[in-house]
Structure 1
Amino acid sequence: MVFICLPILFGCQTNLSQEGDSSPRICPRCNNASVIQAPGHHWLCGVCRWEVPLQPGWEPMLAVYSRFSEKKKAFIVFLVSWAGLIPFFVSGSFVPSIPQIARDFDTTGAVVNLAVSLSILASAIGSLTWARYSGYYGRRPVYLAAFPILIIGSLGVARSRSITELYAWRVVQAFGSGVGFSVGAGVIGDIYKLEERGKAMGIFTAACLLGPAVAPPTGGFVAYYYSWRIMQIAILFSAVIAFFALYAWLPETSQPNTRGIDKDGESVLVEERKVQLVFLNPLKDLALLRSPVILSVCLVQTSVLFMEFLALNPLPYTLGEAFGIHNEAVIGAFFVPAGVGNILGAPIAGRISDRILVKAKKRRGGEWVPEDRLPAALVGAGILVPFAMLFFGLTTTFASAKVGSVVILAVLFMNGIGIDFALTPTTAYTVDIMHHKSAEIMAATSCLRGTVLALGVSGILPAIERFGLLVTYTAAAVLSWLAFGLLLVTIKYGDRMRAWIDIGYSTPATN
């Protein structure tokens, strides 16, 4: 289905071969990279036929980040953020429904929980696949191919009549949802220049991280008062609305002549070009993880994200054991501060990382050093997140129910901000250094994070039951500080680490 949809949805761009300077310019009327120097010293667009006399100083790619107005860029960020949030609801809203699903299918929670592991694997493969094809066909056709699969999968999950059907449709659903985060980050890298990328990435990350905070209580509420199938129908309708919004308003954002299909047919007249069906290896992008800087940053992100799951996933158990809180509605309210922290933290962190980068470039006389963005992550990775874990363990062990509940609310807010302060600059950094493969690098790091988190999250409750809350959350704080140390090493020695293994990093000219 993937390979059939993509060529059909792909819209070819004109790429003519003419006399004179053959480098295509951006057309100010239709935004296509299809303006060439025509005979007679005129600029001519091969798509909309825009034509003006030759203008000195207009260089190829000069307007690559000015193809869209600021309002249009903001709307594109809104669209891809919406598309990026839905996958987190696909995964997050399912877990609280496991007991009810087990009763419906007359099985155990452990058997149903296998659907979670299968969906994590399918989402990782989907993320790699969609990112790989977005580099060939472009962002828009990949979105329009992935969302129908997500919609069909959601319908299948909602109508499942056996545990086997549930497994199969969860795989389909998760595979389609894999497009959200990786390709969305690629879109932001396409339309925002280096000095503005952190802010936009912060907004995108904030929207996506609302999922882990909001999806579990939402899924639990719907399952408790209605049915777990209703939640799947809600996801289906959200995906349908998102699909039509993307179809109507999302333009192709890939930078001119960067797609694989452009390079394959760059010497072919548009009339002669045929729809191309290609098969790409989605696992190839995992080779990007051999880069020491990318691997180190990915491990830092994994550690920080694990703290989000460690704080939120066992809340019903930790609050019940520590304070005797068992009401689902009250427990759900504890997820709100984490979500608010995510909303506030990411945009602030993005702005800070942009300012640090701009000041560092100015201080060096215009020289760009990618690691200049990373100090913006130090406060989150080294202070907010580890101390939030430490306070969580101390409060749930020693505080009274009344005082402890208030402190935990503050700690969850602090953790939410800290996670975004660490994630946003590091995510923007990976896009900066691999700008020409932004979606692919996001998919590769997401795959590694998802695999590690799937293993780590499964051990949270056993660790709490065996070692207790204080020991478990103190160990988490120590793990956070180790990740903080790895971030410091990357900041100080990033240039040398990039020199160890060159995977084709971006340069100032390509960023």
Structure 2
Amino acid sequence: MRWFGYWDEGGQGVAENNSSFLKPLRQVCISTAFLFACCSLGTALSPNLASFFVFRILTAFEGTSFLIVGAAVLGDIYRPTERATAMGWFLSGTLIGPALGPFIGGIIVTYTSWRVIFYLQTALAAVGTILAYFLLPETIHQTKTHLLAGLPLRKQASVLARLTNPWRVIALFKYPPLTLISLCSSSLVWNMYSLLTPIRYVLNPRFGLTTPMQAGLFYLAPGAGYLAGTFVGGRWADHTTKKWIEIRGERVPEDRLRSGIPFLGVAIPASVLIYGWSVDQSVGGIPVPVICLFVQGVAQLFCFPSLNTYCLDVLPELGAEVIAGNYMVRYLFGAMGTAVVLPAVESIGVGWFSTISAGFMVVAALAAAATVKWGKGWRDAVDEKRRAARTQKMEGVAGEETAETARDARGGVAENGEKV
């Protein structure tokens, strides 16, 4: 069920981005926070498994809105040399939650009912709704509703369909850097969920644990890593950006990615390999997986702020769309990782599955390095093609108008009986 929720979150990212074209960001955030609370309460009160599934899907459908809208708000408020620091704090919640949630859930189901988990989630969502209502400012200067003013109904429908077309988001992947950065984000999410999902099934037998609460203690390690990384990951990305501004004399969005490449290509893969093979071969005690989970947690907070902030910087006028597309792809990989990890571990073992995940992240690091080196040229080439296509289209329209004017002129002369 969890993998389907992540797939649902990926699709919802595109939908919420489209709605933000027409509604203020504050309104979108508050309305989806309220609906998230309602769906969480519906999950807690579910009388049967079918209704539980429905409300969990709806909860995931609403939950992704905060990721898209929150990133867009940060892009509106903070300067490029400050965004990654703010993004680090923002993303810490999205990472610490999945890490600490199983620990808290383990305590709850050990001593009380599973429904209490969703009552707690409802309460947290209600607090978030109230805080958003009173504290969240409106940062968007103008929505696209002005494009509909004064148009006939049929034309309004046409413009509305164009503005909310999901292809607006998908079409951005014609930019190679955006495709490669989505691959980088996807490798991290794949690693995160394929690492966290099977902890109980992998570590309980390894260390003779018997209760959900005991297994939940292992989630504290990555949670502590995410928390520790919050304080330094975003700042490191902003520091790298400032450093390369001094070197180049200008800001190039791709330079920000340099801050995360060593962590994506070395620190996280090494931690995952040591974790996987130590568990697979029963080498070392409890400290080995705990340290590895902590280190990869810290390293992820050095990667995510630079990747997410790059999405805001690379096409500033389309930052929300770029973020939405990135989340769509990363959660598809998160869904796949969650779905395949248990069958894969049972089939090939946790060691070899960890090797596959580590290899995926090394490839992603190479993709990030390629984006740093050639990304600006790729973007310029795509923009040049788009400008040429627009120019050709405008020339074609102008030519048709000229030809039509000439035909009208000849027709008018013929009607007067004069020689054409």
TM interval, short-chain normalised: 0.7 to 0.9
- Map 1:268-279 to 2 at 5 A: none
What is residue 418 of structure 1 aligned with on the other side?
Answer: 299
Q: Which residue of 2 aligns with 1:364?
A: 248
**Conserved 8 A contact 2:37-2:125:** yes
In the alignment, which residue of structure 2 is the partner of 1:290?
Answer: 174
Alignment match of 1:476 (pick from 352, 357, 369): 357
Q: Does 1:459 align with 2:340?
A: yes
Q: Output aligned runs, 1:81-480, within 5 Å.
A: 113=1, 116-254=2-140, 256-257=141-142, 259-261=143-145, 281=164, 283-284=166-167, 285-365=169-249, 367-400=250-283, 403-480=284-361
Higher helix share: 2
Q: Quick one: distance in 1 between partners of 2:90 and 2:380?
A: 30
Q: Tell me, yes or no, if the aligned pair for 2:26 and 2:138 is still in contact at 8 Å.
A: yes
Aligned counterpart, 1:95: none
Shift of 1:496: 2.1
How far did residue 183 of structure 1 move?
A: 0.9
SS of residue in 2 equivalent to 1:287: helix
| Structure 2 letter corresponding to 1:281 | T
Q: 1:121 to 1:383 in 2, by over 3 A?
A: closer
The answer (yes or no) to whether the contact 1:288–1:503 under 8 Å persists in 2 is no
Q: Distance in 1 between matches of 2:40 and 2:187?
A: 30
CA shift at 1:264, angstroms?
A: 5.3
Shift in alpha-carbon separation, 1:223–1:504, aligned structure 2, 3 A = farther
Say if 2:268 and 2:295, in contact at 8 Å, map to a contact too: yes
Structure 1 residue 262 displacement after superposition: 5.1
Higher CA-based Rg: 2
- For residues 121 and 332 of structure 1, the distance between their equivalents in structure 2, rounded to whole angstroms, comes to 25
CA positional deviation for 1:470: 2.0
Q: CA deviation digits over 1:42-86, x for unaligned, max 9?
A: xxxxxxxxxxxxxxxxxxxxxxxxxxxxxxxxxxxxxxxxxxxxx
| Superposed displacement of residue 503, structure 1 | 10
- Number of equivalenced pairs: 377
Unmatched segments (≥5 aa) in structure 2 = 151-158, 387-420
1:395–1:122 distance in 2 versus 1, CA, 3 Å: closer
Deviation at 1:263, TM superposition (A): 5.6
Structure 2 residue aligned with 1:40: none
Percentage of pairs with the same residue: 27
Q: Is the 8 A contact 1:135 1:439 kept in 2?
A: no
Deviation at 1:118, TM superposition (A): 4.3
2:374 aligned to which of 487, 493, 496: 493
User: How far apart, in 2, do the equivalents of 1:250 and 1:230 lie?
Assistant: 29
1:362-419 Cα offsets, whole Å, 9 max, x none, are 2222x2211110110112101110001111123213455xx42111111111110111
Whole-angstrom CA distance in 2 between matches of 1:460 and 1:282: 34
Is the 8 Å Cα contact of residues 187 and 333 (structure 2) preserved in structure 1?
no
How much does 1:504 deviate?
Answer: 11
CA contact (8 A) 2:221 2:290 kept: yes
Structure 1 vs Structure 2 CA RMSD: 2.4
**Cα distance, 1:469 vs structure 2:** 2.2
Could you tell me how far apart the structure 2 residues matched to 1:503 and 1:307 are? 36
Aligned-partner residue type, residue 370 of structure 1: P
Q: Is the 8 A contact 1:118 1:167 kept in 2?
A: no
TM-score, structure 2 as length reference: 0.84
* Aligned-residue offset at 1:231: 1.2
- SS at 2:286 equivalent: helix
SS in 2 for 1:195: coil
User: Letter of the aligned partner of 1:236 in structure 2?
Assistant: T
With over 3 angstroms needed to count, the CA separation of the structure-2 counterparts of 1:344 and 1:135, relative to structure 1, is farther
3-state SS of paired residue (1:501): helix
**Are the equivalent residues in 2 in contact too, given 1:371–1:490 (CA < 8 A)?**
yes
What is the CA deviation profile of residues 435-473 of structure 1, one whole-angstrom value per residue up to 9, with x for unaligned ones? 223222222111111112212221111111111222221
**Distance in 2 separating the partners of 1:386 and 1:135:** 39
Q: Which runs of 5+ in 1 are unaligned?
A: 1-112, 268-276, 506-511
Q: Which moved more, 1:478-487 or 1:318-327?
A: 318-327
